[in-house]
Every structure is written in C-alpha cells, then in structure tokens.
C-alpha cells in the first residue's frame, strides 16, 4: 500500500463484528416566561412538559426587523477610493485597529429616535426586532461594564439597547439581540485577521476572551428585561468549538429559560440552514442568509434573513433596492414554506432609516393590514407546487382555512387549485370577506371563480374554508434506507394525508383499486420494482411512482499480503485546495498512524488535506451503510469503489452511502481537505436497518 510507514509499536489485533448504536439525549423542553413590557424580570422555571411553548410566539410572528448599526455606518461604505464596503469594512478595507478606533470619537447619532424606529416597524407589520448589540468589529451599542469600546465612551453617551427595548416593547414588538462571537477588536480574540501581520497575538488568551463574551451576554440577558431571541453570528472560525457553543447556549437558557437561540451559537450545524442530524447540535432555528430554501426546511424551525439592497450596514452608494412588491412576495413564499422573514435595515450614522427602506416597509405594512391573517400564525402549504402563487394554512377548530396567495391572477376567471380533495364550504377574497366566490369541481381539482381584475396587483389572497383537514391528491413517496440489500429490505410507502389510500405492487404491474393496500412497510427478499399510487374513494388520484431495489452479492474480502497492525496510515499535505487534490502527485508533510477516522488537534488547521488508508474488517456479510461528515470536502472509497462523494468547499455536512461487503477485510480510503474555518472529519457505519455508530479502532488496520 502506498504512503504507509511501519507501525511504531507492535500490538495484537482483536476484531469485533458488530457496532454499538449511539443515542442522543433530547434538549430539555421549557415553557415561556410572561412577556415583561417594562424592565428586567425574574427567570422562568423550566417546564419539562412543554417543549414547544417558548417557540410559539416566534412561529406565529413570521415577520421581523433586522437592524445592523454600528461605527461602520460612519464611513457609509467608503474607504479610500472604494465604495463597496459594509459592516465588514474594517476587514474588507484592511483598516488597522488603531485607525478604526478613531471612529469612536465621531459616533454621535443625534437624529436617533428609538420611538420613531419602533413606529416604522409596527406600521410595517413586524412582530419582533433583532438589533446588533455588537458586530464583528467588537463595538458595543450598550452600556457594558467590561469594556470602554462601547457607546458610553462616545460623544453620544446613550445606551442604545435600553432605548430600543423600551420603545419597541411599548408597541408590542418582541425585543431580540444580535451578538457577534467573533471580535476583531478584543486583544484576546483569536485568530487575527489574515492581513494583520503587524498586530501581534503574543499574550492573547482565548479563554479570557470567552469569559468576556459570557460576561457581556449575561449583561444583555440581565439588564434589559425579557429577550425574545439571542441571535449569534461569527462562529465559523476555527477557534470556536462545539463545546464552547454548548456552554454559551446553556448560559443563555440558564439566564432566561425562555430565550430562543439561533443555530449559529454552535458549529455542529448543517450550513446556515439547519442542524447536523448525526451529532449533538445546539440552537433552536436555522438561519438561511440571503436565500429562501426551495422546499423550505421540513422539520426545522427556520428564518431567512435578507438585505433590502446589497449590504447589511449602511452604504450610501448602494441604491440597488428590492421593490416592495418583491419583498411582499418573498414574505408570502417564506410563510408558505413554514419560515420567518427577517428583513434588514441599515441606519445611517445620524441614526435614521434610509428613506427607501421606510417607503418599502410602509408598502409591506399596507398589504399586511389587509392580508396579515394569511401570514401570522399560519403553517406551511399543503401543496407541493402551485402555478399561480403560494398557500398558507391555519387550523380553525375542526376545520381549516387555506389562504391562496395569487401572484398571477387568472385571465380566464378560473383559479384552479390542483389536487384538492375537499369540497370547500366557503370561498372569498380576504380583502372582501363579504363577497362569496363560486366553487366547482373539475375531477381531482377545485376551481374558484375569479372574475374581474385582481384586487391586489402584488398578491391577492383567496380564502378557502374547509370543514376538515386538507386532503391533497399528490403522489406517494417510496422510502428505504438503500436501493440495495443483501438479505432483506424494509420499504415504506407514505402519503401526507391519512384520508388517502395507498396501493402498491412489486411484480412490475401498475397499481389499481384492486391492488394490495399498503398499511405497513413492505419487506423485500429479492430484487423488485415497487410501484405505488394514491387512491381516494376508490379512484386513482395521483400518478404512479416507482423505485427499483436490487439484491446484491457482497464484495469478496481481500487477503492481507503480510502482517497487519492496528490503525490507518495517514498522509497529510498542505495547500490552499478548493477541492480534493490528487494525492499521488503531492509530497507528504506529515505522516502518522490513526486509530480511527478522526483528526487530531494538530491537524485541525486551514489549508490542509489528509488521506487515511488501510483495512476495514466487517463481521457479517451484509449491506453496510456509511455516514461521512466533513468540513470541507471528503470522499470514502471501499475496495476501490467510490461510496460517498462529499467533495467541495462547504461548511460541515454529512452524506450517507452504502455497499455490500462479505465478512473479512476490505480496503478503505478516506480523503479530506479543509480550506478555512472549522475543520471536521468523522465516519460512522452500521448494517442496513441499524443505527450508524463510529467505527471502533478494533475494526481498522494497516499493512506496515
């Protein structure tokens, strides 16, 4: 085997044929504390019986205001000859810390009026506000006892957070804080910016910085009353770890048990959007940035944050504003996928919202004043796709209301609602609730009469009232852990509506009303193509879906050429890779024997690649599934076959693949690279139908 060194100490090798599953404990459930419209309030007591209660207000709110404000508003995006900067200006313009500190003496936003800001948010229909208490530059907009790099050391000398909390609460808007984990000003924060070659890190103490971070979070959750959300950011650098994220999350929940914390408190998350399914992850909701997930994030609370133009902080030159119509439709789209919309405003250095922002927020508020019922407190659409717009849903006792957000008003006067099995008891425009609309059925579809012009050129809302839960005619799903198997395979045929009958075949024929009804998972013991179709009242109401499954002959084991020793051989190379390199063309900068597929502390660095090589022993002939987790790219090879390809630049992600293996040794190769930020690598495995667990050291070997 190439790139292998002799084992540095002989040892006997023991084999185990099965892996132990690892169980994760769920997070402790809580109930929310009563909102405190005034000052500070005592922390609530944890209630183990109500896991979703503290999220209830946030799920109902749907629409919030993000505010990015700080010293970076003073240059307004301009530094030297460039005008493209924003809240990252200290980094993007490479401003030395002493030069940036000079901005503190210029901070005097005399036009700042928290009540004016709160009025704008309230009229826009926003239900909560998230404001930067401290961004990455470390400057604090609140009165902190732990630094003079704050607003109280400026000519302004007013606690912005105190005024925000009072003004927004007075208008019934939940107060939430943004706080940066990263801090480019604090001398103890590491790492330095890459270009800060003359700023020494000698004497820097990261643990001392973490204590400073905790102390400021304690101020924010102690001195300003009930806080709805603590929105962290800047966690992606290698100095922040899962253990530090866990401790920070637990601090927040201990100080205010009802506070909601976003997923950026932790590094064990799936990009910005959700959470890693295969490991402990802290945080309460995902944070897609500047994007709306195409299918939402089913099973995950999430919030899209977005700018009105191209910058979070105020940039005077950026006049590329989204239109009010575009943002209204974004709000409808996000709500239809079960998410929240956090729309950003970057105030000027004087403390005013740009007029373009105010105009657009006023337009959104005018639309919500009429149609807010179709946004607030709604859940995601029951339809997979609608050609003319979006749908939100709200339970109404035993019945349901479907809110149809019509972007493209039908010119022929027929609004076709595809695949709705219910006959609505009532239909009307939300803007004209006293005017009934006609409803007819066209086979599997419902048709709403929509004669006349659209009442709203941006989004007209049609309400359908149903007497029961929605029945939607859509194709079933065929789910299994794999397309291949060795002994037996469990196949699940599912549909979202319990009123739908599912019928399936495994002999290649088309499902009919006489085909077997699926009421339990199918168990295959031979190769087959499963075909399934949805039926309602004895009639087919969906297309036929199918999926092929193959019974496989396991790969034969390899015979080691000589003696074997514990662990995998590891090749390490340095380089600024954007994808996995060709290791055969590179020279190793380090080499060791690893007991498992994991990185040691010295290998968790930027611009590095690794290749683990050796033998994997499996105790049973079966179809084995593997889960590869990495940040950035990685690949898994077994017996020369590519089992998992997770190559490319990305944050931590996990991908699952499988292969049929016979009892014995099999050649294994795991490749990994990291460009920047956090570094992670992990591999789990398990037989088909079992939970995946880390591969024990006793199952890995190499040939010296």
Residues 45-81 have pLDDT tens digits of 333 234 589 999 999 999 999 999 999 999 999 999 9
Give the C-alpha distances (Å, rounded to integers) separating 364 from 183, 370, 614.
35, 10, 60
Q: What is the pLDDT of residues 405-427, one digit of tens each?
A: 999 999 998 999 999 999 999 99
271 confidence band (pLDDT: 50, 70, 90):
low
Q: Which of residues 525 and 27 earns the better pLDDT score?
A: 525
The residue to which tokens 């200006």 are assigned? 89
Which two structure tokens, joined as six digits, stand for 583? 């290791």
pLDDT value for 677: 74
What average pLDDT score do residues 321-337 get?
Answer: 98
Q: Residue 397 — φ and ψ, nearest 5°? A: 70, -125
Q: What angle do CA 136, 139, 143 make, to 5 degrees?
A: 135
pLDDT value for 27: 31
Q: Which CATH architecture has domain 64-374?
A: Alpha-Beta Barrel (3.20)
The residue to which tokens 């643990």 are assigned? 207
CATH number of the structural domain 389-466: 2.60.40
The residue to which tokens 């209204």 are assigned? 328
507 confidence band (pLDDT: 50, 70, 90):
very high
How many CA atoms lie within 13 Å of 194's alpha carbon, on the beta-carbon side?
5
What average pLDDT score do residues 518-526 get?
Answer: 95
Q: Which of 11-20, 342-351, 366-375, 378-387 has the lowest mean pLDDT?
A: 11-20
pLDDT value for 98: 96
* Listed residue (423, 427, 367, 421) closest to 403, CA to CA: 427
pLDDT value for 279: 67
Q: Is the pLDDT of residue 25 over 50?
A: no
pLDDT value for 591: 80
pLDDT value for 36: 34
pLDDT above 90 coverage of the chain, percent: 80
Domain map (residue ranges) of the chain = 64-374, 389-466, 487-551, 565-702
What single string gives the DSSP state of each residue in 512-572? -TTSPB--S-EEESS-EEEEEEEEETTEE-S--EEEEEEE-PPBPPB--SS--EESEEEEE
| CB-based contacts of 1, cutoff 8 Å, min separation 6 | 569, 613, 614, 702, 703
pLDDT value for 267: 86
Are 424 and 441 spatial neighbours (Cβ–Cβ below 8 Å)?
no
Q: Is the pLDDT of residue 245 over 50?
A: yes
How many CA atoms lie within 13 Å of 526's alpha carbon, on the beta-carbon side?
2
Judge if the upstream peptide bond of residue 70 is cis by omega within 30 degrees of 0.
no
What average pLDDT score do residues 155-177 get?
Answer: 98
Q: What is the pLDDT of residues 468-485, one digit of tens each?
A: 999 999 899 999 999 999
Q: Which fold has domain 565-702?
A: Toxin - Anthrax Protective Antigen; domain 1 (3.90.182)
| CB-based contacts of 602, cutoff 8 Å, min separation 6 | none
How many whole angstroms from its chain centre is CA 469?
A: 29
Which two structure tokens, joined as six digits, stand for 52? 């979703």
User: How high does pLDDT run on average in the chain?
Assistant: 90
pLDDT value for 44: 32
- Interatomic CA distance for residues 126 and 72, integer angstroms: 25
- Interatomic CA distance for residues 472 and 458, integer angstroms: 26
pLDDT above 70 coverage of the chain, percent: 91
pLDDT value for 275: 76
What average pLDDT score do residues 194-216 get?
Answer: 96
Are 126 and 341 spatial neighbours (Cβ–Cβ below 8 Å)?
no
pLDDT value for 327: 98
pLDDT value for 400: 97
Q: Is the pLDDT of residue 450 over 90?
A: no
Q: What is the pLDDT of residues 100-122, one digit of tens each?
A: 999 999 999 999 999 999 999 99
| CB-based contacts of 451, cutoff 8 Å, min separation 6 | 413
584 confidence band (pLDDT: 50, 70, 90):
confident
pLDDT value for 34: 31
| CB-based contacts of 601, cutoff 8 Å, min separation 6 | none
Q: What is the pLDDT of residues 330-373, one digit of tens each?
A: 999 999 999 999 999 999 999 999 999 999 999 999 999 999 99
Which two structure tokens, joined as six digits, stand for 27? 């997070």
Q: What is the pLDDT of residues 425-434, one digit of tens each?
A: 999 999 999 9
| CB-based contacts of 663, cutoff 8 Å, min separation 6 | 17, 557, 618, 619, 620, 621
pLDDT value for 623: 97
């Amino acid at each position: 085997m190439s790139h292998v060194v002799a084992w540095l100490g002989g040892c006997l090798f023991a084999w185990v044929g099965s892996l132990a599953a690892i169980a994760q404990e769920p997070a402790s459930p809580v109930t929310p504390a009563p909102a405190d419209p005034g000052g500070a309030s005592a922390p609530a007591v944890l209630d183990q019986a109500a896991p979703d209660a503290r999220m209830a207000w946030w799920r109902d709110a749907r629409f919030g205001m993000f505010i990015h404000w700080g010293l970076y508003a003073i240059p307004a995006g301009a530094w030297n000859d460039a005008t493209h900067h924003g809240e990252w200006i200290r980094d993007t313009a490479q401003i030395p810390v002493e030069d940036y500190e000079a901005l503190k003496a210029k901070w005097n936003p005399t036009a700042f009026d928290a009540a004016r800001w709160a009025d704008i948010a309230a009229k826009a229909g926003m239900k909560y506000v998230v404001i930067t208490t401290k961004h990455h530059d470390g400057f604090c907009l609140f009165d902190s006892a732990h630094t003079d790099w704050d607003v109280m050391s400026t000519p302004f000398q007013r606690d912005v957070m105190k005024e925000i909390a009072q003004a927004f609460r007075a208008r019934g808007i939940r107060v939430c804080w943004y706080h940066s984990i990263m801090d480019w000003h604090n001398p103890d924060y590491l790492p330095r910016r890459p270009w800060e070659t003359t700023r020494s890190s000698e004497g820097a103490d990261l643990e001392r910085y973490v204590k400073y971070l905790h102390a400021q979070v304690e101020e924010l959750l102690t001195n300003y009353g009930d806080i709805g959300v603590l929105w962290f950011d800047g966690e992606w650098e290698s100095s922040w770890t899962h253990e530090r994220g866990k401790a920070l999350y637990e601090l927040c929940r201990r100080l205010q048990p009802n506070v909601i914390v976003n997923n950026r408190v932790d590094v064990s998350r799936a990009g910005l959007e959700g959470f890693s399914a295969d490991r402990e992850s802290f945080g309460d909701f995902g944070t897609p940035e500047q994007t709306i997930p195409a299918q939402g994030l089913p099973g995950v609370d999430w919030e899209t944050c977005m700018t009105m133009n191209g910058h979070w902080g105020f940039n005077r030159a950026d006049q590329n504003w989204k239109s009010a119509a575009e943002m209204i439709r974004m709000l409808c789209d996000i709500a239809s996928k079960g998410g929240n919309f956090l729309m950003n405003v970057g105030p000027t250095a004087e403390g005013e919202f740009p007029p373009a922002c105010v105009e657009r927020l006023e337009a959104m508020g005018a639309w919500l004043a009429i149609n807010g019922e179709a946004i607030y407190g709604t859940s995601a659409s029951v339809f997979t796709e609608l050609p003319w717009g979006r749908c939100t849903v709200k339970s109404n006792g035993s019945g349901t209301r479907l809110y149809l957000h019509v972007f493209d008003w039908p010119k022929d006067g027929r609004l076709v609602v595809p695949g709705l099995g219910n006959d609505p008891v009532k239909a009307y425009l939300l803007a004209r609730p006293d005017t009934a609309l006609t409803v007819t059925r066209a086979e599997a579809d419902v048709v709403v009469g929509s004669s006349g012009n659209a009442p709203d050129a941006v989004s007209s809302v049609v309400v359908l009232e149903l007497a029961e839960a929605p029945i939607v005619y859509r194709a079933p799903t065929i789910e299994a852990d794999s397309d291949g198997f060795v002994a037996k395979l469990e196949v699940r045929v599912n549909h979202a509506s319990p009123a739908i009958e599912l019928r399936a075949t495994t002999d290649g024929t088309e499902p009919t009303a006489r085909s077997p009804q699926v009421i339990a998972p199918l168990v295959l013991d031979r190769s087959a193509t499963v075909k399934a179709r949805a039926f309602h009242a004895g009639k087919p109401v969906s297309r036929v879906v199918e999926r092929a499954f193959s019974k496989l002959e396991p790969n034969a084991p390899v015979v080691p050429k000589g003696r074997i020793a514990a662990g995998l051989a590891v090749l390490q190379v340095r380089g600024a890779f954007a994808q996995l390199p060709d290791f055969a063309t590179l020279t190793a900068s380090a080499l060791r024997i690893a007991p498992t597929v994991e990185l040691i502390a010295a290998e968790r660095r930027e611009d590095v690649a690794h290749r683990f090589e050796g033998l994997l022993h499996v105790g049973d002939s079966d179809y084995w599934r593997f889960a590869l987790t990495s940040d950035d790219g990685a690949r898994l090879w077994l017996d020369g076959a590519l089992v998992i390809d997770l190559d490319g630049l990305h944050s931590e992600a996990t991908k699952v693949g499988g292969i049929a293996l016979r009892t014995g040794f099999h050649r294994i190769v795991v490749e990994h690279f990291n460009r920047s930020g956090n570094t992670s690598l992990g591999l789990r495995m398990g037989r088909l139908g079992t939970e995946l667990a880390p591969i024990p050291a006793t199952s890995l070997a190499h040939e010296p």
